[in-house]
Structures are given as C-alpha cells and as structure tokens.
Chains A and B, each alone.
Chain A
C-alpha cells in the first residue's frame, strides 16, 4: 500500500461530565489510503462523528495523533487549523447546511473567498464543481428552491470546490429519500473513481456503505 493519506495513532477522546468520564473514542489506530472510499458504521453513540470531526480538524482528541498527508492536525493552532481545513478538507453534513440567503453558486463559492483566486477563476471552479454534481442549471437557485437531494449535491460541490484531497461526510444521505440518496452516493463514488478523492463517510445504511471501497465498524469507541 502506498503512503496512507490519514494515519491515526492511539487516538482517544474522553468527555468529562462532572464525575463521569464518557469515552467517545478509545485508543484508535487506523490508516486510510489515498483514493479510498471508507465507510464508517456502528451504533448510535459509538463515536463515529467524533472520529470524523477529529480527522477533519474541527475537534481535538484527548490524546493520540492524527496525521493527514503527514500533517499532525492535533498539533495545529486554531488559525492554522482553519487554513488547513480550507485547503485540505471538504465537509458534507447530514443537514445540508447551506446559507439560505445565498444562491447555489454563491454557497459553493464561499470557501473560495478565503483564497487568492480571481473572480474569474472562482467562477470557473464553481461552474466545474456544480457540473460535477450535475447542477449547472440550478446555480442561480436559492436553497429553498431546491430539493433535498439537490441541496446535498450543492453541499458536495461546496466541499470539493477547493479541490481538497479529503472529503468527509457525516450521514450525508440520512435526510434523503432512496432515489436522492442514490444520486448523492453516485456523485461521491465518481469523485473517488474519477478525481481520486479520499472519502470518509459515516452512515447507518448498509446499502449506502456498499458504495464504499472499505467498511469499518465502531463499537463503544473501539474499532471492531
């Protein structure tokens, strides 16, 4: 196997709730290769989201390390981490989390506002991203004028517009009917296959998990 894109070593996350400690992640080690479509399954409360958040640099572990493309994200400070996220990760959430006052294209453009790209370059990238998710004709629509599946595909376009190596998705089809879910999963699949993206997706749905190239299970904070 080539150099893994994500290397997790002895990662633990413990929440302190007064007297009680809740162990969300218990000493996890895991390698994820480039261009892998990893699906993460497990019962509710098993720590799937927590793991995903740490890999994506929006949460910090209690101990252990998490290297993404040889950068230990647990060591970055707040502002370095923000930059890192902007350049290296794309997020997709269960609720689509688009900004309601912005059109599809403007939502997709948001992460690019932090880059040095010219207006024209931004527009090109937005157009490419929307085309990849099959929504070129909806670019001027506001989120409320889109179906749930279309909203989620806009969110995918936003996640990939900065061309990050890694895309993380937390139950991206959780709010969708099976037809829309199928569309979204198809898009993710093609991103891995055609663009070589590494995708980590949390899901409860075995059918969704089947779209991935590898499945792992979490149980009470441990890999099983």
Chain B
C-alpha cells in the first residue's frame, strides 16, 4: 500500500484551470454581468445545465459560478456573475476578448431526461434565474419532449430583474406561461407585485405530472416548496439547486458539505425528498 501502485502520480492536476476567452459580455443589472465564453483549446466544455465551474483569476482566486446556458446552444457556455467580493468584482472588470481560467464543470447538474414527457414548472428567484436558465433553454430547445411549461420569475425590484429581453421573449411564446413579479415596484412597473409565491394563485398545477424546479435564495425556496407540496406535487418531483461555500469542486476540501453530502459532487441539484432528510439542507 505504501507504494500506492494502483494510483500512479498524476501529471495532470485538477487544480490547473484551462483557459476560456470571453466572446460576449454585458451588464444585465447594476450588480450582475453576463459572459459568453469559448474554451481556448478548442475542446468545448462538456456540461449539463445546472452544473457549475470554478472561475479562476490568477492573483485573486476562484469562485464557483453556475453555468446559465444550455449545451443545446453550441460550443460556448455562459455565466452570470454578481459582484459579491474579490473574484467577482475582478470579473466585472473583464470584457469581450479577455481570458479567464476555468475548472470544471463540476456537480451533477439537472437531468433533463428525467423530466421528459412531463409538465415543468420553474420557480426562479433573484440570481436563481441564472442556473434555472440553463434548463429553461434546454426545455425550449427540446420543446416537444415536454408538456406544459410554466415559468415563475421573481426579483426584488424591476432593476434587479435578470435577462429582461429573454423574459419578454418567453412571455410572447404561445407554448409556455411566463409570470414575473417584483417585491417592490417602481412607477415604470406595470406587472405583478409581491413575493414570488403569490404567483401560484395565477397558475394551475397538475400535481401528478409536474416537476417543479425551484432555484433561489434559501428563504424563497422554503416558501416555494410549501406551495408546490400543498398543490400535491410529490416530494421527489421537487427539484432544487443549493448554494454552499465551495473551494475545490472535487469532494475534498469539505466546505460544501451538508452532513455527509458533498454538494459539489452529489449536488448542487437535489430533489426535495432527499434534501429534507439531510436536516441541514435548507
């Protein structure tokens, strides 16, 4: 065992990032910036919606960021970055043509095949729309694979709303119902007001044939789960994506652990019946 002959020393380190070129970048809100990235080595990132990457900026560090695009879209991937600290602030300084380090993709991601043939209800609050968007785009790109699609989107204020143009486009689609609400409206806002759970009054859910994908801040998650459960959606049809502190993405550093579960490995996507048993999940 001392010689560990079954595990020869690896020449390639999972800690060394590959490089990606930013091919498109723009501010979505005052706090969130959008990036489209193409891997430099010509080997596209092989990812699933809901997975995340560790974005690497040498001299500053790394930050786990959800991929907000769908692999059905082509040889790039997209990120939405909220300015929250050192790495994310530095990312906001980057623009089209700049290079970033990328490790990953990590995590399990959503499983679009598992919800095939079903109704899909998305509940996305705040920055949660970013990871949800990957699956939303997948579903629209494979629209025939799914039955009714409903999108509930919530933001604190109209100015905080991500992907406004895309949401408009979704709202105009005849093959889905898209409802948007803001906690606090301003004079320009003519849409729904109030917390996202209020939107449940405006939709109909066929509980036995619906998967609910809920992504947002922990507090929203709790109330949204309550709504779908009270409609009768089974617990294993409630899908969520959890955030934890993450460093390695490799199931080693321990930061992302919920009890014995490494969120960076087994998650960040879980079904509610699983998370609930963890006790420390939500």
Check if A and B associate.
no
A residues at B contact (CB < 8 Å): none
B residues at A contact (CB < 8 Å): none
